[in-house]
Structure 1
Amino acid sequence: MACPLIANLDVVRLTRLDSCGRPVCGADNAVPFDCVASLAMNVNQDEGTDVEYKAANGKVCGYKKGCPTFRGYDIELNFFSVSPEILEIATGNPVVFGYDGQPIGWDDCSISCDTGFALEGWAEVVGEEVCITNGLAAGEWIYFLMPWVVNGLLGDVEIGSEAVTLTLQGATRTNGGWGVGPYNILEQDAALTPGPLLTPLGANCHRRIIQTHIAPPTASCEYTDVTEGLCLAS
């Protein structure tokens, strides 16, 4: 594997999950969008307890450093697009519809702790050699996957004279049902045939980061259907 230079975060996609962390197949269960300011994946860990054996005269007879426990990632997604669809999938709060049945807003009611969403991101790899080394490629991207994010919450919002940034907060968890995923995001052969992940994440894994030559989905800020990958067998 080369040492790619990562450029901007191009596209993010949220996918609705059920109470077991499995993708919900069918219509209106995902939203791909851009206009993302930043994505922070902050480590959440317990530092562990150090053990020190100290004699009455003050001499340290032995010492054992505590072993940290990795709990997962606390995420902060900062974005500019005010999309009811994004917030509905991420927080579980209801969409408000207009006379024509189209989303026009949302209600802030509660924090949904019994479902969640998957978060994917694509960041473009910088380098002119990408298309030279593989003439079939339209580009190369670093692909981020956090297959189960819970406790989605829209953070503080301040509206004033400057651009408004929305902050979506959440936390990753393990033992979900994402499997190889419901999307064709990775090449399956030298012909760059699109397909799902080649292997699922381990039961105790919170995140996967890989390189792919398959382009990200088109950003729309609107609901899209979940129909590929494992959804074909459901």
Structure 2
Amino acid sequence: MAVFPVVKGTRLRATRVDACGMPIAGPRSRVVTEGWISLQLSPQMRDADEIEQTNAEGRVCVSDRTPPERKWWNATLELCKVDPCLFSMFTDWELVTDYAGESVGFSDQKRVPADRGVAIEVWTGVGSDDTCEVPTTDDILSASGSTLPYGYFVIPVIKEATLGDIEIGASAATFTLTGITASGARWGRGPYNVQATDVDNTAGRLLTPFKATQHIRVLRTTVPPPAVEEGCCPLILPSPYYGATAIDEAPAQPACDAVGTNEEQRIDLGAATSGAITLSFKGSAPSASIAHNAAATAVQTALEALSTIGEGNVTVTGAEPWDVEFVGALGESKQPLLDGVATGLTGGTLTITETVEGGQF
């Protein structure tokens, strides 16, 4: 049994996730920082219900109660540095960039995102007297890397994050983000190596996946925390990620300045002589009708009008077949295939294929 105190937060990693904790791979999906002051977690409970029934005489004949139940945790993260990537990741605020495209700030917005979140991992010390245990076997001699213990906390989803008051005066300003946790079932065993998988201290993913009702996991680990990295960094996922065939060791993550490939797809009508198509993406409503001989600019306009793409996030070239490249907010990431429906095509068949896989670093 591992018994350990928790002292001093040493490192914090934030990862972009969906509302159920599934990591979102892409060029700006993780941040590792030491620029934080504290993380506070407070359970939000559903109070117990008293059940009582009196008889005709007014005496209690039935008395019971339902137990209290945890609904979620309220999370408060206090920061001592402004990291535009981290703020944008939590709040979905627009990043402000400089002439070279580097993130230098952010602009706020009215809407608070609820359809996605951020996973937080925190490493702590365990106290000086608990750091150096007495070995009972020679396994430590062949272990890979350090075997010093750390406390490890993982919260797969913090969502509905808001920024608290900012006071600028004759003292250091701090920044507070608050949100609530949610089920982390899609975090699974996670995209990183955080736990020893054997007596040689081989670093691997969590040994057991998160369950649907779990919001937090705390454990003792001998796998050291990641190094601090500047700015937003790319994220790639283990594959297979879920299930019995999921791999035990996650791949090394790309360097923060690594540039990934843009997803490219081809829309081919097979030399159709008449007819039209509509396109959709990630379940969006269909686009406007696109003629079989439409110019690339018309196809691009139709795609940019989709709610799941947006202006500036695709470029289209060619004259049927059309080549679509995902750029901007959709660049450097793996993307699902466009969906298409043909109407009255003559002399051809609609096919959509991936020509360059996105998100390869």
- Establish whether TM, by shorter chain, passes 0.5: yes
For 1:80-159, list aligned pairs within 5 A: 80-109=80-109, 110-128=111-129, 130-133=131-134, 135=140, 136=143, 137-159=146-168
SS at match of 2:152: strand
CA deviation map 1:11-38 (0-9, x unaligned): 1111001355310123221001113221
Check whether the contact 2:201–2:222 (CA below 8 A) recurs between aligned residues.
Answer: yes
TM-score (norm 2): 0.60
Q: Distance in 2 between matches of 1:20 and 1:42?
A: 20
2:13 match: 13
Which residue is equivalent to 1:164?
173
In 1, distance between residues paired with 2:132 and 2:234?
A: 30
1:158 CA displacement:
1.4
- CA deviations on 1:143-167 (whole Å, 9 max, x unpaired) are 1111112111111211122221111
SS at match of 1:5: coil
Partner amino acid, structure 1, of 2:153: F
> What code does the residue aligned with 1:121 have?
V
Deviation of 1:92 (Å): 1.1
- The structure-2 alpha-carbon separation of the partners of 1:86 and 1:128, relative to structure 1 and needing over 3 Å to count, comes to same
Shift of 1:221: 4.7
Q: Structure 1 residue 62: deviation in Å?
A: 3.5
Structure 1: any 5+ residue segments left out of the alignment? none
The match for 2:208 is: 199
Contact 1:86–1:221 (CA<8 Å) still a contact in 2?
no
Name the aligned partner's letter for residue 215 of structure 1.
P
Answer whether contact 2:18 2:117 (CA < 8 A) is retained.
yes
Equivalent residue number for residue 191 of structure 2: 182
Give the SS at the match of 1:164. coil
Whether 1:226 and 2:227 are equivalent positions in the alignment is no
More strand by share: 1
CA 1:209–1:175: 2 relative to 1, 3 Å = closer
- Which amino acid is 1:130 matched to? T
| C-alpha distance in 1 between matches for 2:93 and 2:45 | 29
Task: Report the residue type matching 2:71 in the other structure.
Answer: R
Instruction: Give the letter for the 1:213 counterpart.
Output: T
Identity rate, percent: 30
TM-score calculated relative to the size of structure 1: 0.90
Return closer, same or farther for 1:19/1:67 CA change in 2, 3 Å cut-off.
closer
Q: Deviations over 1:214-234 (max 9, x none)?
A: 1111123511222354375x9
Q: What is the DSSP-based 3-state SS (H/G/I as helix, E as strand, rest coil) of the residue aligned with 1:89?
A: helix
Deviation at 1:129, TM superposition (A): 5.2
C-alpha distance in structure 1 between counterparts of 2:222 and 2:59, whole Å: 59
Task: State the alpha-carbon separation in 1 of the partners of residues 40 and 193 from structure 2.
Answer: 25
Distance 1:30 1:66, change over 3 A: same
Structure 1, residues 113-168: CA drift from partner, whole Å, max 9, x if none?
11111111111111345344454434211111111121111112111222211111
Cα distance in 1 between the residues matched to 2:33 and 2:183: 25
Shift of 1:90: 1.1
- Flag the structure with more relative contact order, 1 or 2, with Cα contacts below 8 A and sequence separation at least 6: 1
The whole-number CA distance in structure 1 between the counterparts of 2:20 and 2:215 is 15
User: How big is the alpha-carbon RMSD for the aligned residues of Structure 1 and Structure 2?
Assistant: 2.1
